[in-house]
Structure 1
Amino acid sequence: MISAETRGVFAIAPTPFLPSGALDMASLGRMTERYRDCGVDGLTILGIMGEAQKLEPEESLAVVREVIAHAQGLPVVVGISAPGFAAMKRLSAAAMEMGAAGVMMTPPAAMRSDDQIAGWFSGAVAQIGGDVPFVLQDHPTATGVVMSNAVIRRVVDENPSCVMLKHEDWPGLEKISAIRRWQAEGEMRALSILCGNGALFLDMEMARGADGAMTGYAFPEMLRRVVDLSVSDRDAAQDIYDAHLPLLRYEHQPGVGLAVRKHILARRGFIAHGDLRAPGAGPSEATRAEIDYLLARLAARDPGCGL
Structure 2
Amino acid sequence: MWSGIFPAVTTKFTDVDKLDHAEMERCFSLMIEAGCDGLIVAGSLGEGPMLSHGEKLDVLKTARSVAAGKPVLLTINEAATREACMLAKAAAIAGADGIMLVPSPIYHTDPRETVETLRAVTEAGDLPVMIYSNRLAYRVDVTVPILEELADDARFVAIKESSDDIRRTTDILNIFGDRFALFTGVDNLAYEALAMGADGWVAGLVVAFPRETVAIYRLMKQGRHAEALKIYRWFRPLLDLDVSTYLVQNIKLAEVLAIGSNDRVRMPRLPLSGDRRAAAEKVIADALATRPELPSF
TM score, norm. by length of structure 2: 0.90
Following TM superposition, by how much is the alpha carbon of 1:252 offset from its aligned partner in structure 2, in angstroms? 2.2
Percent of aligned pairs sharing the same letter: 22
In structure 1, the residue matched to 2:173 is: 180
In structure 1, the residue matched to 2:286 is: 297
Match of 1:91 among 80, 83, 87: 87
**How far apart, CA to CA, are the structure 2 residues paired with 1:59 and 1:125?**
21
**How far apart, CA to CA, are the structure 1 residues paired with 2:123 and 2:235?**
42
Paired letter, 1:166:
K
**How far apart, CA to CA, are the structure 2 residues paired with 1:146 and 1:30?**
36
Residues 78 and 102, structure 1, Cα contact 8 Å, conserved in 2: yes
**How far apart, CA to CA, are the structure 1 residues paired with 2:117 and 2:176?**
24
* Paired residues for 1:163-174 under 5 Å: 163-171=157-165, 173-174=166-167
* Paired residues for 1:1-307 under 5 Å: 2=1, 6-108=2-104, 109-129=106-126, 132-155=127-150, 157-171=151-165, 173-184=166-177, 190-197=179-186, 199-217=187-205, 218-231=208-221, 232-254=223-245, 256-269=246-259, 271=261, 273-304=262-293
Q: Deviations over 1:192-235 (max 9, x none)?
A: 111112x1101110111101211211322222111111132111
Secondary structure of the 1:265 match is helix
Residues 158 and 180, structure 2, Cα contact 8 Å, conserved in 1: yes
Residues 14 and 49, structure 1, Cα contact 8 Å, conserved in 2: no
Following TM superposition, by how much is the alpha carbon of 1:91 offset from its aligned partner in structure 2, in angstroms? 2.7
Structure 1 vs Structure 2 CA RMSD: 2.0
**How far apart, CA to CA, are the structure 2 residues paired with 1:98 and 1:147?**
28
Secondary structure of the 2:142 match is coil
Secondary structure of the 1:158 match is coil
Residues 39 and 224, structure 1, Cα contact 8 Å, conserved in 2: yes
Following TM superposition, by how much is the alpha carbon of 1:294 offset from its aligned partner in structure 2, in angstroms? 2.1
TM score, norm. by length of structure 1: 0.87
Residues 195 and 220, structure 2, Cα contact 8 Å, conserved in 1: yes
Secondary structure of the 1:268 match is helix
Residues 17 and 275, structure 1, Cα contact 8 Å, conserved in 2: yes
Q: Deviations over 1:58-83 (max 9, x none)?
A: 21221111221222212101112212
**How far apart, CA to CA, are the structure 2 residues paired with 1:151 and 1:79?**
20
- Return 5+ residue gaps in structure 2 as ranges: none
Q: Deviations over 1:167-202 (max 9, x none)?
A: 11112x111111111135xxxx621111112x1101
**How far apart, CA to CA, are the structure 1 residues paired with 2:143 and 2:179?**
18
Structure with bigger RCO (C-alpha 8 Å, 6+ apart): 1
Following TM superposition, by how much is the alpha carbon of 1:50 offset from its aligned partner in structure 2, in angstroms? 4.1
Secondary structure of the 2:12 match is coil
**How far apart, CA to CA, are the structure 1 residues paired with 2:89 and 2:64?**
14
